[in-house]
Amino acid sequence: MSAVKSKVEEIIANNKVAVFSKSYCPYCRRAKEALKSITSEFFVIELDEADDGAAIQDYLQQKTGQRTVPNIFINQKHVGGCDDLLSLKSSGELQKLLA
């Protein structure tokens, strides 16, 4: 598990915005579109396409208490999923976090 933990922590640490996603997930798609409308600078890992995707999702659940995708981090802070992101966007907070 430590390799997965290191990978996840490295992704979160090295990217202003990190999105743990699944390629077929409509909520993931919506979250990525919302981010694209504001910035092109975000990192996405598609858990259904990664060999260790299931282990990453298990670790994220331990770390955040959230099992679902998308699982989104901004500036190393867990912001939640799609609805959380969209609510940050509509309140103007997302733009401030990304500035």
Q: The tokens of 53 are what?
A: 């995707």
Backbone angles phi, psi at 45, to 5 degrees: -120, 125
The amino acid present at 47, given as its one-letter code, is L
pLDDT band at 99 (very low <50, low <70, confident <90, very high): confident
pLDDT per residue as tens digits for the range 32-70: 999 999 988 999 999 999 999 999 999 999 999 999 999
The pTM (predicted TM-score) of the whole model is 0.95
> How far is the C-alpha of 39 from the C-alpha of 99, rounded, in Å?
9
